[in-house]
Chain A
Amino acid sequence: MSRFGASTDPAPTRIEQLLGGGLMSKLERLDLVSRKVFSGKIHGERRSRRRGTSVDFADYRPYSPGDDLRFVDWNIYARLDALFLKLFLEEEDLSLGIAIDTSASMDWGNPNKLTYCRRLAMALGYIGLVNHNRVSLHGFDGGGVSSLRTLRGKRRTREMGSWLLGLEAGDGAAGSGFTEAMKTLALSRRGRGVLIVLSDFLEPSGVDEGLRFLGGRGDEVICLQVLAPEEVDPASNGLTGDLRLRDAEGHGDVEITVTPALLRAYRQRLDEHCATLRNDCVRRGMRHLAVHTSTDLESVLVESMRQGGLVR
C-alpha cells in the first residue's frame, strides 16, 4: 500500500519524457493568445504597438521631409495634390515568461505536481519557441528565483528541456515564499509580455500580495493552479482513520480523524480557496485556470486552455 500523496511514477530524466513527439506535433499548430498588445524587440509574427512594415494597412499621415518615398500614396497626391504616407501595422515578437513553483508542497501528489508542471511548462514553452517568441523560464521557492532567460526559436527546445529536468523541489523548511518570489520576478523581468505562473497557490500567508506585484508590471498574467487528486478528493485517494497530517513545508501538524463531516468541511474550504484565487485574478485583470494533475496534458492544452482562450 503506497503512502498517501506519494508518487508512484519515477521523476523524468529525459527530455522526451517531458514532451513526447506526438504531442509536440500537435503543439506546433497552437499559439498563445494575448489579450494585450505588447511592443516587441525584434520583428516577429505578432502585431505590435508600433507601425511597421507588414502588409496590413493601418493609417495615413502627412508627409514630412525625410520620409521614405516608397510609402507615399501617389493616388491621393493625384487627387488632392498633397503628399500622404501610408502606415502599416508592425509585427514583432512576444515575451513569454513561465514561472514554476518549486516549493516542497509541489513535490507531492500522484501524479506529482512538480513533474506535471515541468511537462506543462515544457509544452507551453515549446509553443512559444515555435511561434518565435522570447521565452523565459523561472523557478521559485522560499530560497529565491532561478531563471533561464530569452530562448528564441525551436532549436532552443532541448536547452529548455534540460533546464526543466534540472529543476529541483525546494527544501521544505524554506517554504514557498510566494510573495517574495513574485516581487523578485516582477523586478527582474525585462519588457512586458505574457507571464504564466504554475503553482498550487497554497500559501498560508496568502497570494494576494504576490499577485499584486505581478499585476502592477503590466504583464498579462495567467495563473495555472495545479492540484493533485489527493488534494481534490482525499478520501477516495486513501485518506482514512486517525492521522497526524504533517505540512510538507513545515507549517505545523494537524491531528484529524477522517469523518464525512471533516471531508465535507475540507471540500468547502478548497472550493472557497479556489474561488478566492479566481476572484483575485479577475480583479487584477489576470486569468485563472485550475488544472488537476490527473488530467491528461494534451487534454489540458488542446481542450481546457483553448476553451479558456489561453491558446488558439
Chain B
Amino acid sequence: MMWLTPWTGFILAACTVPLLLLLYFLKLRRSTQVVSSTLLWLSSTEDLRANAPFQRLRRNVLLLLQLLALIMLVLAVMQPRIEGAGGRGGRTILLVDRSASMQARDVDGGTRLEAAVDAASAEIDRLHAGGLFGGDEEETMIIAFAETAEIVQPFTGSRQQLQDALAEIEPSHGRSRIEDALNLARVYSTNPNPDLVDRPIAEAASLVLFSDGRIQDLDGLVLRGESLVFQRVGTDRFDNVSVAHVAAERPYDRPAFVEVFAGLANWNTSEVTVDVQLSVDGIGRRVEEVELAAAVRDIASGRLEPGRRNLTFTPFQQDRDAVIEVAVLREDSLPEDDAAAMVVPPPRQLRVGLITPERRLVRRIMEGLSLQRLEVMTPEVYESRIDSAELGDLDVLIFDAVAPAAMPPVPSIFLGRTPPTDRLRAYGEAEGQVVLGGGGDHPVLRYVDVDPIYVDRARQVQGGGDSEVILEGSRGPLMLTFVHEGREHVFATFDPIADSNWPYQRGLGVFLFNAVEYLGHHGDSLTRSQLSPGAALVAHLPADATELTLTTPSGEEFDLSEQNPARVSWGPIELSGLHEIRYTRSGTGEQYSWYESVRLPQVESDAAAASEVVLGMQRIDSTDAGAVRYRPLWPWAIGMCLLILLIEWWIYNRKIGSW
C-alpha cells in the first residue's frame, strides 16, 4: 500500500482528533436518570474522580464511532492505494520522460529511458492482461515528453499497438517539461473519441508518470482532478561531471591562433579530479588534469550548486576552420554532458570604409588596426559610389561626423550624425552630459572605461523596438545599436572628436576596434550563441548551395535540398552535439560543410532522481518503477466513514429515545 498525501492526513488528524476529544471533555451530552438516592453513587465516584476524564471516554460508543469515522476521513485524505492487477475499465495515460537526464546510466542494464520504457511496457501488460482478472475494457494512451510533448499512441485498447508505440520512443537531449504533456492528456481525457457518444465527455484519466522526477516546469502546474502516480526511474546515487560551456576566440594580434575556454561542473558531493581533453577536428591536442570542488546543496532553494572550475587552454595555431571539442575523460552516469563542441571559423580580416570630412583621428586609429583593407572616402565620393559593387564588398562602414543620404547596405558606425532611418526618432540636442550607465556588458564597449567621458553636445533620439541603448547619458542615450533591414548598426549620438573629451582617453580606439569587430564578424560561429535542444536550427548558406543534407549527432541524415539555401531551417533539435549540413556549390561543384554545435542544457546535468514531484500544493511521492498498478482506496474509506456515521446516528437516536 502506498499513500499519495500522507502528511496532509497527519496534519488533519493532528488538528481534528484532539479537537473532537476536547469537545467531548467540554460538552459531554448526558441523559438524566432519576434514581432513588445518589448517596451510594456519590461515594462511589469519589474514588474514581482522580482519573475521571479518561473514565468518560471509556466505553463511549458514540465517541469511538466518531473517532473511527474521523480516522476513515483522514485515511481518505491520505489517498491510500494498493497494488492491484488489471485495469478498472477506465483510461490511463502513460507519460514517459525522454529528456536528457533520462539518458543517465544509473539503472542496471541501460539508461533510465530504457528502464522507463520497460516499466511502461510492464504496465501495459498489466492493464491489458486479459482473462478473468484482467479488468474491464481499458484504454491507454502514451505521451512522450522532453522540451515538448508528443502523442506516441492515442487511446487504444490494443496491447500490441501500445507496445509497438512504446518501442519507438527516441531519447532527447532537451529539458524535461511536463506542461505540454499534461495539456495533451487533458485534451484527450475530455474528448477521447467523438465517435464514442456513450462515453462521458469529461472523464478523468489516470496518469502514470515514468520519470526521474527532474522536471523543470513543475512550478505553477496543478492537477485538475486527474490522479497521478509517479513511478520513479533511476536512483539518487548519481555520479556526474559535465562540461558546462565551451568558448573559443582568435586573439586579436594572432588571428591564426585559437584560444579555447571551458567551464567544468562537478555534480558530485565529493571532490573529484578529472582529465580534460581538448580535441581539434577529432584529434586530441591537450589533456589537462583538473581538480573540481564538491557540489553544495543550497538550503534556501534546494538546488544543487555544482563545484565549478573554468579552464583556459594555451592558444594553438589553427589557420583554418575547425571543430573544437572539450571532453571529460571519466566514466560517469551521464556521458551526454561529458563533452561540448563548437565550430571555429577560419580567420578573416575585415574590409572597412571610412567616410570622413578630412578628419585625421578616426583615420589614424583605423589605420592602426589589422584590416584587410581600409578605404577612406569623402561623403561626396561615397554618395557617388553608393550603387557600385565595390562598396558592397566592404564589411563595415564608419560615418565620421557625416550622415549618408540613405541607409548604407552594410553594417555601419555613425559618429555624431543621426542616420537616415525610421528606426530612430531625433527630437533635439542636449548639452553637457556625463555617463550614467552601460558600458562593459555589450561587446562594443568591452574593456572601455566610460566613466571619465564628458559629452558637450549630443543628439537626443528615441530608439525603436529593436534598438538597444548601450551607453546611457545624463540627458538621454549616448550610444545605441539598432537594426535596419536585417543589419545591425552602431550610433554614437555625439561626435567623439568635436563634442567630447573621449579623444584624450584610451577608450576611443578600443571602442572603434570593438565596434568594427562586432559588426564585421556578426553572425560568425564565434559570436553566435550556442543552441539548446528544442530550438530550431537555422543556416544561411550560399545562394548556389544544392544537395543539402543534415547529419545529426546520432548519425541520422535528413535531406534538406527542398529548402531555400538562403535560410535553411530544421527542428526542433533533439540531440546535443554537432549538427552538420553538407552542401555542394553548383558554381564550383565543391562540397562544403556547415556546422552547428548544440549544447546539452545544464539543468539536465543535475540528474539525481527525485523522490517526489510537487504539482501545485500536491506532493506526489514516488514509487520505484516496477510495473505496479495501484488502485485508489479513498472511495472505500469515504464509504466506511458514511456507514459509521449512519450507525452512530442510529445509536444516538436509540440513546436519546427518538426511535
Contacts and interface: CB of A to CB of B under 8 A. Distances in A.
Interface of A: 1, 3-5, 105-106, 108-109, 113, 200, 202-204, 228, 230-231, 239, 241-249, 251-259, 261-262, 265-266, 268-270, 273
Nearest to A265: B44
Contact of B40 (A252, A255, A269): A269
A239 B30 contact: no
A269 B39 CA distance: 9
Given A244-B31, A257-B59, A262 B45 contact: yes
Contacts of A108: 34-36
A265 B48 contact: yes
B38 interface: yes
Contact of A1 (B34, B36, B657): B657
Given A242-B29, A244-B32, A257 B55 contact: yes
B56 interface: yes
Contact of B55 (A202, A239, A241, A262): A262
Contacts of A228: 36
Given A5-B35, A243-B31, 10 more contacts: A5-B33, A108-B35, A231-B40, A241-B655, A242-B29, A243-B32, A247-B35, A252-B38, A262-B45, A268-B44
A266 to B, nearest CB: 4
A82 B42 CA distance: 75
Contacts of B55: 257, 259, 261-262
B372 interface: no
B47 interface: yes
Given A242-B29, A243-B32, A254 B56 contact: no
B38 A109 contact: no
Given A255-B30, A257-B60, A259-B59, A245 B39 contact: no
B35 A248 contact: yes
Contacts of B31: 241-244
Those 5 A-B pairs whose CB atoms lie nearest each other, nearest first: A202-B37, A265-B44, A105-B36, A108-B36, A247-B38
B38 A245 contact: yes
Contact of A5 (B34, B40, B60): B34
Given A254-B42, A261-B55, A269-B43, A246 B655 contact: no
Contacts of B43: 269
A266 B33 contact: no
Interface in B353-385: none
Contacts of B30: 242-244, 255
Given A242-B60, A243-B32, A261-B55, A269 B44 contact: yes
B41 interface: yes
Q: How big is the B interface, by class? A: 20 to 34
B58 interface: yes
B28 interface: yes
A256 B167 CA distance: 72
Nearest to A234: B35
A200 B39 CA distance: 12
A5 B33 CA distance: 9
B59 A262 contact: no
A204 B28 CA distance: 28
Contact of A265 (B35, B47, B56): B47
A214 B37 CA distance: 24
Contact of A254 (B45, B59, B654): B45
Central interface residue in A4, A200, A228, A265, by most chain B CB within 10 Å: A265
B38 A251 contact: yes
Given A259-B58, A265-B47, A251 B39 contact: yes
A174 B254 CA distance: 123
Given A108-B35, A243-B31, A247-B35, A273 B40 contact: yes
Contacts of B654: 1
Interface string B48-85: 10000001101110000000000000000000000000
Contact of B56 (A1, A230, A247, A257): A257
Given A5-B34, A255-B30, A245 B58 contact: no
Contacts of B35: 4-5, 108, 230-231, 245-248
Central interface residue in A204, A239, A253, by most chain B CB within 10 Å: A253
A244 B36 CA distance: 13
A266 B56 contact: no
B379 to A, nearest CB: 107
A269 B43 CA distance: 7
B47 to A, nearest CB: 5
Contacts of A251: 37-39
Contacts of A241: 31, 60, 655
